[in-house]
Structure 1
Amino acid sequence: MMKNFFIVFVALITAFMITSCNKGKSSRSVYVEFDQSSPQALYASGRLKDALSESGYSVTELSNKSGTKIELSVKTGDLPAESFSVTKKGKNIVIAGGDSRGMIYGALSVSEDLRNKVKLQNIKDRMETPYYPLRAIKHNTPWDSYRPSSAIDQHYETVRDLGYWEAFLDMMAENRFNSLGIFNLHPFVYM
């Protein structure tokens, strides 16, 4: 008798766990719609999908009526260059950029919200426009110094690493920098 009770109890607990897991799944399902022919849209959607996955959302390749749809688009006439807007329409979200950079900045802004533990249903409508048109970083490379130095030599391998540059450019996009100046050290030895 006790054995039968235990089996029924375990079956009920298992059924309850399965139904409660499936219940939240449709609301945690997200479809990202974007122009797949655009490299900028591919980058923006990739970064957004990573943030969604890290936040526990299930990113689907097909649109699901019970889930959330995030649309990435460029609206050149509606927004200035490098600007973006985030607009909620029901449970769906539209991220529109004034150009492709603006779309990237909008996707990165929503990604940042997700990484700061903001749920999709709590994302706020907003529009952002950069105050300065040129937001640059000056990067000095360790090539061709007129004096040898161990302080300079230690960075030769770093600037040759493709992973370093990918991470550096990702950091620039996240912080809304739009220009990179790469400088060598003193060129006077060649004059």
Structure 2
Amino acid sequence: MPPGIKYNMPPEVERELCNEQTIYRMIGGFNWDITGLPAGYKIPFLAPIKVTHNPQKAVLVKNVKVVEVAAVGATSIKIQKGSLIEKSFNISDGEKVISVGSDANSIDTSDESFDLITVSALENAIEEGQVLTEATSATDPTPKNVANKLNYERNKVAVAGQTLTAIGQVFEIKEKDLYLPISKWDKEALGHLFMFI
């Protein structure tokens, strides 16, 4: 470091998220579909991804984790920070579509501990810790994408044509510490090769 220069930047420390000795990394990469992802976004380790073969393609599954109970009729939800939710986004609790507001103030990120989203009046109550997922459409609550693999390494959105490496097996995943949440639909699709604790 040159004399007289001080860097006041704490190092970025990755959380321990799983038993890394149990990881089976799949051979070959999957073309990363970065549609709708902000430039510079870094996909975290163990992020839920949906992969397909022929063609080899990977899509990041967009889930949100609720951090406070929301009652029937509520028009706002507190969610875990770091989600990829956008205005006019449609999320699902599995039964009903919940539409995020379309104006600029629909997603409030000013609080350090959570993001507040303005939504259509809830038809079902939402529990703390519940994971909602991107809906297929404004009228179809079926999950748009369901994870069948997890992401192996951090990767930054830069240019089209990037690839992701998928994890085919990993055990002792610390679910509460994940950077991006895993939904119940993801867990069903991931199956016995992925163990959550």
For the pair shown, the structure with the greater C-alpha radius of gyration is 1
Q: TM-score range by the shorter chain?
A: under 0.3
**Structure that is richer in helix per residue:** 1
**TM-score, with length taken from structure 1:** 0.24
**Structure that is richer in strand per residue:** 2
Task: Select the structure with the greater relative contact order (CA < 8 A; seq sep ≥ 6).
Answer: 2
